[in-house]
Amino acid sequence: MTTTGHEVAASPQAVAAIEDALRAFAKALRAVQLYLPNNPTRAAAIDKVRTAFGEVWHVANPLEIQIKEAAFVWEGTTVYRDAERGTDGLPWLLYRDGLRSLVVHSGFETADLDALLAILHKARAASADDDDLVTRLWVADLATLEYRHVEHAAAGDLPVVSGADRPGMAVFDPASAPLAVPFAESPPPGEGPPPGIVRVEDFESTLHFLDTREAAYLQEELKREYADDHRKLVLASLFDVIEGQSAPDAQLEALRIVDHLLIEFLTHGEYELVALTLREASTASRRVTADDRVTTALRDLPARLSEPSVMAQLLQALDESARAPVASLLEGLFVELRPTALEPLVSWLGSATASPARASIERASARLASAHTMELAHLLEHDNDVVVRGALRLAAQLATPAAVPGLSRLLRGRDPKLRVEALTVLGEIASPAALQAVERAIDDSDRDVRVAAFRVIGAKAHAGALPRLLDAMRRKEMRGADLSEKMALFEAFGSMCGDAGVPELDRLLNARGLLGAREPAELRACAARALGIVASTAAVAALQRAADTKDVVVRSAVARAMRGNA
């Protein structure tokens, strides 16, 4: 039994079922736009539509929906509204092409749902030269869908039914206006365009028809009009009011609207518009001098976004977003923030896993940190190790000498891993003060820290560290160090010492003790490696004196060093 509209108009269950079906349909259309056909998210969204429409037929069959600019209406009740998305909303997509009502019959979810989603997807991406939505629906001739549309600039509606009892034939309501072409002059069915279709070709020979140049001009102007982001014009108008009005009440009212728009832009991920708003607020704060309340409110806009709680929510939204944020847009936003935003940013960077979102946020954070290097240096001394690690990442990217004092203090901290990371950053900075701080790490109590210091000194050829390196080579503790530490030390020494260091290396490689004993084999092999790096005449001579040594490890190291020489 078919349920009539009057029987269900007062039923909240019927309204809820229809609302659920239309919301599911809108989400499925967005999924079709975002995902490929084999994507499980897209398939799940379409399955939800089928389930939802299956519930609708229990309360309304057929389902007749009136189409408004930003809403769908059923039996006088708004069952779907999308005013926030404006011209991107589903109601407007149908309304702009002349559709005024839809009648959906049982079986739509299985027979014509996929076809309608594909038609709407193509209509949304269509250019000015492509067929409009009504033409696409007429060609598709969906069996379970009827629609009413109005021709642009026409006096009344031209009701058209797709999938009526006689496929391919249009059914007209007798109450509608008569066709402009008499029936006797209409072509036989199946020949020529459908009745009621107005063709541009019919007007080409008229007196006032546009020529090609004029038509092209109008098309370009329409494209430009639709391409312009009118939200920017709204912002410009609001800031004109703030700067041009002398009445503080009007300025504060405009500022309240700007504040509301700022939240909307941030919620929808419109970071370019957020950055534009903050830039305009900064410029206006320097121009407005009439009322302190207005100036203070303008300056508070970026300060509010820079609060740790707000930044934490923004970063969480960026991390959970399905699409990676565009780094250039984030850079434009972050550069307008206050230095207080750096702490939550570096804290997030210190704990976030590798992802496209992290790469974009890191680049944008580096730009903010480059404008506030002293704040970054202060964060290197933070009590939270997560914040410190995030600050170290930014300091390594910026390689700013302003971070050297904070990094030097990190070398005196308790965590060896942080000390190693600090040494790496100091090596990236490579200023005289930074290399002097690295030099002091030669005497660190942790093996990994010492190895990192040796490698940084060798890579940067910091000759000022030679005396400390020489002292480290002569220590008794070095005899018991592992091979990798010895190699790092001797390679750093050999890369800088030149002929002045050959006697010390020759002594370690070839000299005997009081009882004829030589140095340990690993130490001699490291000395041979360092002589091979020096590669001077004196160094080669020292290697040749050890070429016939009986120790296999030393003889092999000497041979490798001499081959490297050759």
Question: What is the pLDDT at residue 414?
Answer: 84
Domain boundary among 109, 142, 177: 177
Contacts (Cβ under 8 Å, ≥6 apart) of 8: 14, 59, 60, 75
Which pLDDT belongs to residue 193? 61
Average of per-residue pLDDT across 126-132: 79
Residue 544 belongs to some domain of the structure = yes
Residue linked to tokens 């005396």? 467
Name the nearest CA neighbour of 66 among 100, 90, 93, 99: 100
- Residue 160 pLDDT greater than 60, yes or no: no
Gap between the Cα atoms of 43 and 372, Å rounded: 48
Give me the domain span that covers residue 58.
Answer: 5-177
Domain end among 127, 159, 177: 177
> Is residue 510 included in any domain, yes or no?
yes
Assigned domain for 473 exists: yes
The pLDDT value given to residue 289: 64
In three-state secondary structure terms, 348 is: helix
Q: Is the pLDDT of residue 510 over 80?
A: yes
**pLDDT at position 209:** 62
Question: What is the average pLDDT score of the chain?
Answer: 80
Banded model confidence at residue 83, pLDDT cuts 50, 70, 90: confident
Question: pLDDT tens digits for 527-544?
Answer: 999 999 998 999 999 989
Mean pLDDT of 186-207: 58
State mean pLDDT over 377-398.
Answer: 85
Measure the CA–CA gap between 302 and 275, rounded to whole angstroms. 9
Compute the distance between CA of residue 154 and CA of residue 135 in angstroms, rounded to an integer: 17
Residue 184 confidence (pLDDT) above 90: no
pLDDT one-digit tens code per residue, 444-467: 889 999 999 999 999 998 888 999
The answer to whether position 449 is within a domain reads: no
Number of domains in the chain: 2
Residue-wise pLDDT tens digits, 300-341: 777 777 777 777 777 777 766 666 666 667 767 777 777 777
* Best CA proximity match to 561, nearest among 536, 519, 479, 500: 536
Residue 278 included in any domain: no
Predicted confidence at residue 205, as pLDDT, reads 53
Tell me the per-residue pLDDT of 245-297, one tens digit each, with 9 for 90 and over: 777 788 888 888 888 887 787 777 777 787 788 888 877 777 776 677 887 77
- The model's confidence at residue 438, banded by pLDDT at 50, 70 and 90, is very high
Give a yes or no: residue 427 inside a domain.
no
**111 found inside a domain:** yes
What band does 479 get if pLDDT is binned at 50, 70 and 90?
Answer: confident
Please tell me the predicted confidence (pLDDT) of residue 181. 44
Place of tokens 């030679």: 466
Residue 98 and residue 53 in contact, taking contact as beta carbons nearer than 8 Å: no
When computed from its CA atoms, the radius of gyration of the chain, rounded to whole angstroms, is 38
Instruction: Check residue 105 and give its pLDDT.
Output: 92
**Is 543 contained in some domain?**
yes
**Tokens matching residue 17:** 């079922």
Residue 510: CATH number of its domain: 1.25.10.10
